[in-house]
Amino acid sequence: MSDREDFIRILEETRRPGMDKVLAGLDELGFYDAPASTRFHGCTPGGLLVHSLNVYREAVVIGGIQAKLKPGVEASLPRDSVAIAALLHDVCKAEVYRQAEKFRKDKNGKWEKYASWDVDYSAFPVGHGEKSVIRLLRWGLEMTDDEIMAIRWHMSGFDLAFQSAEAKGNFGAASDKCPLLAVLKAADGLASHVLE
């Protein structure tokens, strides 16, 4: 089974209303061929798909460990919510990267061309997590509050550096209320910095 088929299968197994429109929207945006970043983790065609699957696999493991360490927490981490939050947390990236030729100096100090990526957020500049949530809701995906909070705040400190005290308070409240947020953040970090 290809990564794309695995991704689609996991999301279809959630049986969540609106998932058919989400999958069609992802295809239209070019999600499956997009990179995950311009020069960091997953900066190759298809990197976003691989990253999303890695986040999902990490989230399943982390959620399982948390359920063993704190009985009762598994009720806050239903498998369908873990799948939706992990696989769809970076939907916002599907249309922002464009292939570009750039220049750098080689080991001899001579300029050379190399393939890279440019990023352009101007088509819908509403923020990282927010954009993912808005897109999913517009496509008609029925989401739980925990899924919305986890996807919205998964970038946490990276978003908060330039935000208000109110935003920091909202992030803190979401973190206290939503174990799925902590699992998604940890899984995203491990996938980005260890697996990729």
pLDDT, tens digit, 9 for 90 and up, residues 9-66: 999 999 999 999 999 999 999 999 999 877 777 778 899 999 999 999 999 999 999 9
Q: Is a pLDDT exceeding 70 seen at residue 93?
A: yes
For 44, the 3-state DSSP assignment is: coil
Query: How far is residue 66's CA from residue 60's CA, in Å, rounded to a whole number?
Result: 10
Report how many domains make up the chain. 1
- Share above pLDDT 90 across residues of the chain, in percent, rounded to a whole number: 68
Residue 113 lies in a domain: no
Decide if 42 contacts 168 (C-beta within 8 A).
no
Q: Give buried/exposed letters for 72-91 (b at 16+ CB in 10 A, else e).
A: eeeebbbebbbbbbbbbbbb
Residue 86 lies in a domain: yes
pLDDT recorded at residue 4: 98
Residue 100: name the closest of 78, 121, 116, 84 by CA.
116
Residue 20 lies in a domain: yes
Can you list the positions of beta strands (E) in 106-192? 111-119
CATH at 42 = 1.10.3210
pLDDT recorded at residue 161: 53
Residue 174 lies in a domain: yes
Residue 104 lies in a domain: no
- Residues 128-159 pLDDT 10s: 889 999 999 999 999 999 999 999 999 876 66
Alpha helices in 89-164 (DSSP H): 128-138, 145-153, 157-160
Domain that holds residue 178: 3-95+121-195
Residue 107 lies in a domain: no
Residue type, 62: I
Residue 106 lies in a domain: no
Count CB neighbours of 170 within 10 A.
Answer: 16
Residue 153 lies in a domain: yes
Query: How far is residue 3's CA from residue 53's CA, in Å, rounded to a whole number?
Result: 8
Query: How far is residue 60's CA from residue 193's CA, in Å, rounded to a whole number?
Result: 17
Residue 77: name the closest of 172, 183, 169, 187 by CA.
183
